[in-house]
Amino acid sequence: MSDPQPRYRRILLKVSGEVLMGDAAFGIDQDTLSAVAEDIAEVVRQGFELCLVVGGGNIFRGVSLAGKGMERASADYMGMLATVMNALALQGALEKVGVHTRVQSAIPMDAVCEPYIRRRALRHLEKGRVVIFAAGLGAPFFTTDTPAALRAAEMGCDALFKGTSVDGVYTADPKKDATATRYDCLTYQEVLAQDLRVMDASAIALMRDNEIPIVVFSIRGRGNLLSVLTGDGVHTTIENPKRAALAG
């Protein structure tokens, strides 16, 4: 009897900048960066197509600076530049382990990366390259959740994977509440109605409208990404009820 085919073949992986800090208070932890790159390489070698959106909160948080008096638009642009730095760091780590990559930025900076061009990005994916999307949408007043959802839809992804420091969506913060329990599956509407703050509401709505599942898992555990992709890893799936019934 043949093994069941994976449910997802092309995914967008959303990695927060905070994940790349590891246990440090700021910047990029080299060991964590290498571990994330190894996990991605493992997935690519299994034949999955992968693109990424990376945040910049480990270097600069525009919202925080705006709250302290900096003009919001300028602060957000600075945050976008931080995502480019993280994207280049991820590119270097991936190339080091033999994964061909391209960084595409929503803010043109031809000296270090390609501009975002949808058809070119699709071609890279078809050739087995990992595409790292940087600089958000190239516009202020958005977090990296919205561009992650938008790029997932534009790339025709089967799912949006959100790699976090916890292994799914919980009834409360499991780091603060020992009684918190993990959801196996949620609908988009439940996430919005309960204000679970998995992603921005605009990103959740975009995934709902395009019927693209959101998979929340811990990226800190070595091998978790491949385990979830092959159906074994611990995670929470957010999708519409009809699709969940078909998958089950």
pLDDT of residue 248: 52
Helix (H) or strand (E) holding 214: strand 214-218
When pLDDT is cut at 50, 70 and 90, the band that residue 206 belongs to is: very high
| Model confidence pLDDT, tens digit, residues 101-150 | 999 999 999 999 999 999 999 999 999 999 999 999 999 999 999 999 99
Percent of the chain with pLDDT over 90: 77
For 192-198, what is the mean pLDDT? 92
Confidence of residue 66 (pLDDT cuts 50, 70, 90): low
Q: What does DSSP say about strands 114-115 and 10-15: parallel, antiparallel, or unpaired?
A: unpaired
Instruction: Using pLDDT thresholds of 50, 70 and 90, give the confidence band for residue 63.
Output: low
pLDDT at 1: 43
pLDDT digits (tens, 9 = 90+) for 156-187: 999 999 999 899 999 988 888 989 999 999 99
pTM: 0.91
Its sign, for the CA torsion 196, 198, 204, 207, is negative
SS (H, E, C) 97-128: CCCCEEEEECCCCCCCCEECCHHHHHHHHHCC
pLDDT above 70: residue 246: no
pLDDT at position 8: 96
Q: What are phi and psi of 198, to 5 degrees?
A: -70, -45
* Structural domains of the chain ordered from first start: 10-247 (3.40.1160.10)
- Cα distance between residue 105 and residue 84, in whole Å: 7
| Strands, E assignment, 56-192 | 101-105, 114-115, 130-134, 159-164, 185-186
The conformation of residue 71, written as its DSSP 8-state character, comes to -
Say which residues have a Cβ less than 8 Å from residue 165's Cβ, sequence separation at least 6.
18, 19, 218, 219, 220
